[in-house]
A and B are shown apart, each in its own frame.
Chain A
């Protein structure tokens, strides 16, 4: 045990003298968390808080136009600019504003749209009451053309969502107008003047709830909830660089020879190294977590919620740290120079992080990339933290991710041992 402690002290002293190593391990993740959270917070905000800039030009100025106005105004996703033809007398001007990026989408309701709807529906009812059974809906309606102008940079899925929302509002208005016309015609036939008010509230209502384990305690995904665990994982995996570098430096100098002449097992020396780097990884995680909890809120960003399952959080973080150290061991064993290990180690962690959803959240990745993400250990770790931080999950929800991470560690260490044996036999 004395030898393990001695190795831990030595590793910490070595790291204390390595300014580049400290920068990579501690300063870089702190900067990345702050910068990336600030950048992505705006993107999340545009969707969640301030809304998407929408221009609605209402030339109709009647029931249909006003109902669509209300529909957009009540939609929290929209930052609505309304015009009744005062500023935007022509479609070209609207197109120009959208092209310049002032609005992501513009909707133009043509003049007399409501009146035409009334007329067409009225004619259809008259025909029906006159006993003309041959008339069909297609014959009754001539189409009213709405113009939707979108920013070329707007996502197709977003345009489709807006179009379907618009169609929903129009269908609702059409029903109301039809109900008014039917009521009026029946009054005419019966000679009454009854007025049945069409209910404003929808007949069918939807109650939305999160499918998370503790639904009442689940948190909305935001830049902080994504970036803090994501960059904490990234920084933990970046431990590969100093760890592999340290192993190779020892191996390529006389230190390695001296280590093998020390009494006791070489495994004890390696254990000291492993324990030290796991502790460093845990410290990195705590620092990044503290940033999310205390510093980011001071910068106007949302506070980090870490759930209530502390035990599960500790196990997951330990598994991530152990996995990163195992991977560092593999890199440190396979490569022969610190330069090789730094290049391969750095690039491989970058690729695994990109694939794993560290840079870009998984939910906005294409479907096939989401499938590929499953091969990245950083993705397993991130999914585990999502379970704890966003879905309020516990041990049951993360155990599969912890198992995968542990298996990756076992594989890395086994491969390291295999390569070590090969290299020693060739020496």
Chain B
């Protein structure tokens, strides 16, 4: 387990295995920071707001975790960031561009990994990726090389030509993830990317994501129910419940300030122990 002490995510210091290191991504120009201002969403026919006046800033190169119980508003938040639905109020901007008015440009620089396996089950993993790559404007040799490289990185061999429906849960998750990073997005949105898979596959996926974040400076926004995973993986987390932002900060700092033993305890302290579904 990586030991990590954040001094400040904005300054970019962190501590790994006794060494103080600087996250190079954080010192990059803040060209792909995400600014969320007063974001609200109300669905027709419902009495409660799905999101209520959320304000957040996510820096370029940051790994940001969005945590919350079922029905907290995570999927709504995620859907607005992807441009799938429009907010009722407020604004989301990426690199200074409003999502509402620059959706076309923004779609080119974001990668989306939905919680569901967003793949064609009867097509092979390779064919799914070739299609998705083409949709992002990749073509020819560049596309093929990029697909092969990603498949190699995630340990796919001959099985890349098998139908996705015959893959294990972990393999499906990996292809689902590759589909989101194939076009080398600047911002990657992950909705529960490790749900329903074994610990080995989860570790591999998180390692690849961390590598992507460190080597390419990709900003990652991810939602999860795994508190331990979020604590290890994220530079910063936010807890939302009933559409409202409860708290945000560096996991270790949040845990120590609240005098809790873990992020999970902190989470339960904020959201209560009531079963939501």
- Chain B residue at minimal CB-CB distance from A268: B135
Ranked nearest first, the 10 interchain pairs of A and B with the lowest CB-CB distance are: A254-B118, A254-B116, A6-B134, A17-B122, A258-B118, A254-B114, A263-B107, A261-B112, A262-B135, A10-B131
**A290 CA to B34 CA, complexed, in Å:** 60
Which B residues fall within an 8 A CB radius of A? 44-45, 82-85, 104, 107-108, 110, 112, 114-120, 122-123, 127, 131-132, 134-137, 139, 163, 176, 179
Q: Is A154 an interface residue (CB 8 A)?
A: no
Contact of A254 among B108, B117, B136 (CB under 8 A): B117
**A3 CA to B104 CA, complexed, in Å:** 14
30 contacts between A and B (CB under 8 A): A2-B137, A2-B139, A3-B135, A6-B134, A6-B135, A7-B135, A9-B131, A10-B120, A10-B123, A10-B127, A13-B123, A17-B122, A253-B118, A254-B117, A254-B119, A255-B120, A257-B112, A257-B118, A258-B118, A258-B132, A258-B179, A259-B135, A260-B82, A261-B84, A261-B112, A262-B135, A263-B135, A264-B107, A269-B135, A426-B44
Q: A258: which B residues are within 8 A, CB to CB?
A: 112, 114, 118, 132, 179
Task: Beyond the given A257-B82, A261-B83, A264-B104, please list 15 additional residue pairs across the A-B interface where CB-CB is below 8 A.
Answer: A2-B137, A2-B139, A3-B135, A5-B134, A13-B127, A14-B122, A17-B123, A255-B119, A257-B84, A257-B114, A258-B114, A260-B82, A261-B107, A261-B112, A425-B44
- Chain A residue at minimal CB-CB distance from B123: A13
- Chain A residue at minimal CB-CB distance from B115: A254
**A254 CA to B82 CA, complexed, in Å:** 13
Q: Is A427 an interface residue (CB 8 A)?
A: yes
Output the least CB separation between B50 and chain A (Å): 11
Output the least CB separation between A274 and chain B (Å): 17
A-B residue pair count with CB separations less than 8 angstroms: 79
Q: A260: which B residues are within 8 A, CB to CB?
A: 82-84
Please count how many residues in chain A sit with their CB below 8 Å of the partner chain's CB atoms: 26
**A91 CA to B84 CA, complexed, in Å:** 84
Q: A257: which B residues are within 8 A, CB to CB?
A: 82, 84, 112, 114, 116, 118
Q: Is A18 an interface residue (CB 8 A)?
A: yes
**A67 CA to B83 CA, complexed, in Å:** 89
**A10 CA to B137 CA, complexed, in Å:** 15
Output the least CB separation between A412 and chain B (Å): 25
Contact of A18 among B83, B118, B122, B127 (CB under 8 A): B122
Output the least CB separation between A164 and chain B (Å): 63
Q: A3: which B residues are within 8 A, CB to CB?
A: 134-135, 137
Q: B85: which A residues are within 8 A, CB to CB?
A: 427
Q: A17: which B residues are within 8 A, CB to CB?
A: 122-123, 163
Contact of B108 among A14, A263, A426 (CB under 8 A): A263
- Chain B residue at minimal CB-CB distance from A250: B120
**A253 CA to B116 CA, complexed, in Å:** 7
**A238 CA to B176 CA, complexed, in Å:** 33
Q: B115: which A residues are within 8 A, CB to CB?
A: 254
Interface centre among A260, A263, A264, by most chain B C-beta atoms within 10 angstroms, is A263
